[in-house]
Structure 1
Amino acid sequence: MRPRAVLPDTLHRSKPLRLHGRSVAWLPPLLLLVGIMVLDANTSGRFRIISWLVLVPAVAAAICGVLGTVALAVLSLLVYGVMDASWPHEYQNGLPDFVLVVVGSGLAALACSVRLRAERRMLHMRDVAETTRRTVLRPMPQGWGGLDHAAVYLAADSEARVGGDFYDIQPGRHGTRLLLGDVQGKGLAAVEAAAALLGTFRESAYHEPVLTTVAGRLEIRMLRHNGYSVALGRGDSDRFATGVLVAFPEDTPATVEVVNFGHEPPLVVTPDGVRSLPPGDGLPLGMGDLASAPPPVLRVPLAPGETLLLVTDGVTEARDAAGDFFPLRDSLTKALARDPRTAEPRRLVRFVRDGTLDHCGGRLGDDTTIFAVRRRTVGAADAAGVADAAGGSR
């Protein structure tokens, strides 16, 4: 089964069978009860199946609420009494089977109560996970920071909903900056590190005029977080994070500034093809003390209409059954030749998502983030505004 590509803003809670907005969860056990009655009435006295009524509350316990289960259990007992009494005495099942139905009904009601309690607990835990996800990977409005953007996050653990991948766009006093990264490791420790880095990025990217300072603050934050973890006895002193920090300067709309912290270099996707940005030689965040100099800031061209594609290693290291990696760049080149509109952020993210999942058969070995951005042109912004207005007038 494929992981869900887009997580909803609110969780879809489990609901009973519904028809025209009304619950019909009681219908299957009721049909079972009627079926047992009909079969018992049309069998010989030597082969009675009325005791099978014990199955009715058992089925109700799996799909109905407690009250519905109890109601069907009581109905089963009444039907048992009426149907069994309608046979001659020598063919009646009598008290033993009646006790069986009583005991089965009681156990079914108990099982239903336990099921509902477990469901409430599970939904509560999913709510917590969803809140955590929205805190780390906050939703961003269209046009945020003057960028057209699209992103998808796929957790390797479909129930976890959030992991060590992180991304964000932060408009500020000195232009818009974005950050995408991947914390080493998994679990809540990786989520905590990602949240710490995002918090630092959101503040420093807004206030600091120089991208090198933002990069330095991220490195310091990673080291401080590791020290804090060690002080708690967790032993995470060597945790690190790869990442890409990108700035969109306001004074040079045809260029971007990039700092690469040991991450896969972004791709520039245009209707005419694909090219890679220079890889840079920065070390991952948390390992800066091993380098003789901070990672360089690369100034590279990015023309209007060109899309910047950033992915985590869940894409680049996705393997098929033969063990081959997903050929991201070749796949994009072929897709653009077929349809140049694939370079649009939303189409691009959708294509990479589907291609990755198809390549690995839906079995992701790592958390996967796909993030596409490009500068928003005046025409695109106006068109989006018209679409929003039209949507609001419906």
Structure 2
Amino acid sequence: MSPATTGHARPEPYPTAGPGDVVQRQQLLRVRGRSVAWAPPLLLLVAIAVADYNTTGEFRIISWIVLVPGIAAALCGVWGTAVFAVLAMGTYTLVDSAWPHQFQAGLPDFILVALGGVLATLACVVRVRGERRALHMRDVTDTVRRTVLRPLPPGWGGLEHAGMYLTADTQARVGGDFYDIQPGPHGTRVLVGDVQGKGLGAVETAAVLLGTFREAGFHEADLATVADRLEARMARHRAYTAALGRAEGDRFATAVLLGFPADEDGVVDTVVFGHEPPLAVSPSGVRHLTAAGGLPLGYRDLAPGPPPVRRVGLGADETLLVVTDGVTEARDRDGRFFKVAEEVRRAVAADPRLTAPARLVNVVRDRTLRHCRGRLADDTTAFAVRRARGAGAERREGGRSPL
């Protein structure tokens, strides 16, 4: 499982796969930051040469030296493998002829060692090309992930925040869960959601919704209008995919939309699109945030009209926690669901400092993985947010930012 748990540090440069970034397996073969991938094949070469030199009669193991370039092909680069192939041939010639009056393996085994070195070098070329291709695909995936889950600066929009994201597919690195914060002149808006389904279609839908949220969340004064824009964009995207002939016409998304008004600190506006309501976590306990329930995004035709918006009070020491169904539907060995509210309540009762966003999402991550023994059935996201102390000036500054 590859967790993406962050306090959202400042954005890093996008990674690129260059010719030198081809030896991921060497990360385990380092001493004080230096690669020692050459050590195993070298030790094997020396061991075979010494063992053969100290044997007599017709028992010769020098031909085993053909294994050396094969080991190097799995651990070293192309040039390193070629060097070991040459060393293997040279060592074979030297050791095999050291005792001219005894049995010698001779030319046939030398040809075997030489052929093994050539084949090992070619195999290394194929392996390195595959690694470069895999690194390039990883870079593409990371770019997509940064689009859906873009890095958020600390204190963005006057909020302390932290997010945890785990993919059910450990190789995918990105899925249909999403979250973002958008500061603007009318306050700071937060969106957390989960697109139905998996694969690139779910990622595409998440990116579409986030693009709309980032624009509407900045420009629109009314949170209900932001919610309406999200619903309209979902309908347009479904029509678009249907026109392409893709079987995604029934795709929907559950989400929680939060609005922290610029002119009032002790409240939060909420819109729930078929999602689990947020939890308000404080040192004194955990409560479900009272929020009007609505249908998921994509089902507006079943309930026409503007989505319900509810303003609720929020204590200065309360942190809002939103999780996706990867958390709430995690099962243990007996098939019991993970009860996030109870687990968070126990954790906070034992240590009130766990209400801090970064610590809170770590608690949710660790206890979810422990509950399901690391076997996630769905993408898993937890996002925690609360107002920062003295955030008024920062919110006004964020309101002038178009990001």
Give the alignment's TM-score, normalised by structure 2. Answer: 0.91
Which whole-Å CA distance do the structure 1 matches of 2:291 and 2:160 have between them?
Answer: 24
Cα distance, 1:57 vs structure 2: 0.4
**How much has 1:278 moved relative to structure 2?**
2.5
Alignment gaps of 5+ in structure 1: 383-394
Would you say 1:334 and 2:346 are equivalent positions? yes
Q: Measure, in 1, the Cα distance between the counterparts of 2:63 and 2:90.
A: 12
Letter in 2 for 1:4: P
Partner of 2:141: 129
Q: 1:252 aligns with which of 256, 259, 264?
A: 264
Quote the residue 1:388 is aligned against.
Answer: none
Letter in 2 for 1:51: S
Task: Trace 1:24-39 onto structure 2 (pairs within 5 A).
Answer: 24-39=36-51
Whether 1:212 aligns to 2:211 is: no
Match of 2:372 in 1: 360
- Show the counterpart of 1:374: 386
1:75 is matched with 87
2:299 and 2:39 map into 1 onto residues whose CA distance is 62
Moved more, 274-283 or 180-189: 274-283
Distance 1:126 1:231 in 2: 30
Distance 2:32 2:344 in 1: 44
Residue identity matched to 1:269: V
The one-letter code of the counterpart of 1:148 is: E
Following superposition, the deviation at residue 26 of structure 1 comes to: 1.6
2:65 partner letter: L
The answer for the alignment partner of 1:3 in structure 2 is: 2
Instruction: For 1:69, give the aligned amino acid.
Output: T
User: Does the CA-based 8 Å contact 2:4-2:166 persist in structure 1?
Assistant: yes
Q: Aligned partners of 1:375 and 1:244: how far apart in 2? A: 17
- Three-state SS of the structure 2 residue aligned to 1:101 is helix
1:234 to 229, 240, 246: 246
1:346, distance to aligned residue in structure 2 (A): 1.1
The residue aligned with 1:387 is: none
Partner residue in 1 for 2:211: 199
Displacement, 1:292?
A: 4.0
Query: What CA distance in whole angstroms lies between the structure 2 residues aligned with 1:90 and 1:47?
Result: 10
Match of 1:98 among 110, 122, 125: 110
Aligned residue for 1:162, secondary structure, equals: coil
Written as runs of structure 1 = structure 2, the 5 A alignment for 1:35-114 is 35-88=47-100, 91-114=103-126
1:151 to 134, 156, 163: 163
- Corresponding letter in the other structure for 1:91: F
- Matched AA of 2:5: V
For 1:127-157, what per-residue CA distance to the aligned partner results, in whole angstroms no more than 9, with x for missing partners? 0000111111111111111111111111111
Structure 2 Cα separation of the partners of residues 256 and 307 of structure 1 = 11
- Determine the C-alpha separation between the residues in 2 that align with 1:334 and 1:380: 33
The superposition leaves residues 180-233 of structure 1 with CA deviations (integer Å, 9 ceiling, x where unpaired) of: 110001010000100000000010111111111111110010010011111111
Aligned mates of 2:344, 2:35 — CA distance in 1? 47
Alpha-carbon spacing, 1:380–1:321, altered in 2? closer, same or farther (3 Å): farther
| Structure-2 residue corresponding to 1:301 | 313
After superposition, the CA RMSD in angstroms is 1.9
Determine the structure 2 residue equivalent to 1:392: none
CA contact (8 A) 1:6 1:152 kept: yes
| TM-score using structure 1 length | 0.93
> Which AA in structure 1 matches 2:151?
P
Separation in structure 2 between the aligned mates of residue 251 and residue 381 of structure 1, nearest angstrom = 11
Shift of 1:327: 1.6
Counterpart Cα distance in 1 of 2:106 and 2:223: 85
Percent of counterpart pairs with the same letter? 62
| Code of the aligned partner of 1:105 | G
**What is the rounded CA distance, in whole Å, between the counterparts of 2:3 and 2:188 in structure 1?**
30
What displacement does 1:5 show?
3.7
1:265: which partner in 2? 277
Higher RCO (C-alpha 8 Å, min separation 6): 2
Letter matched to residue 156 of structure 1? A
SS state of the match for residue 180, structure 2?
strand
Which 4+ stretches in 1 moved above 4 angstroms? 7-13, 379-382
Question: Does structure 1 residue 163 correspond to structure 2 residue 175?
Answer: yes
Letter in 2 for 1:113: V
Which amino acid is 2:267 matched to? T
Q: Is this contact kept in 2: 1:309–1:373, CA < 8 A?
A: yes
Task: Give the match for residue 385 of structure 1.
Answer: none
| Deviation (angstroms), 1:281 | 2.7
Q: Could you say if the C-alpha distance between residues 199 and 341 of structure 1 is closer, same or farther in structure 2, counting changes exceeding 3 Å?
A: same
User: Any conservation in 2 of the 1:5–1:353 contact (CA below 8 Å)?
Assistant: no
What's the CA shift for 1:250? 2.1
| Contact preservation (8 Å) 1:3, 1:362 | no
SS in 1 for 2:170: coil
> Following TM superposition, by how much is the alpha carbon of 1:87 offset from its aligned partner in structure 2, in angstroms?
2.8
SS of the residue corresponding to residue 293 of structure 2 reads coil
Cα deviation for residue 337 of structure 1 reads: 1.2
Question: For 2:255, what is the secondary structure of its paired residue?
Answer: strand
User: Where does residue 389 of structure 1 map in the other structure?
Assistant: none
CA distance in 2, matches of 1:21, 1:306: 43
**Deviation larger for 80-89 or 294-303:** 80-89
- Higher mean alpha-carbon deviation, 198-207 vs 36-45, is at 36-45
Relative distance call for 1:381 and 1:36 in structure 2 (3 A) is: farther
Q: Does the 8 A contact of 1:143 with 1:381 survive in 2?
A: no
Q: What 5-or-longer segments of structure 2 have no aligned partner? A: 395-403
Structure 1 residue aligned with 2:294, among 274, 279, 282? 282
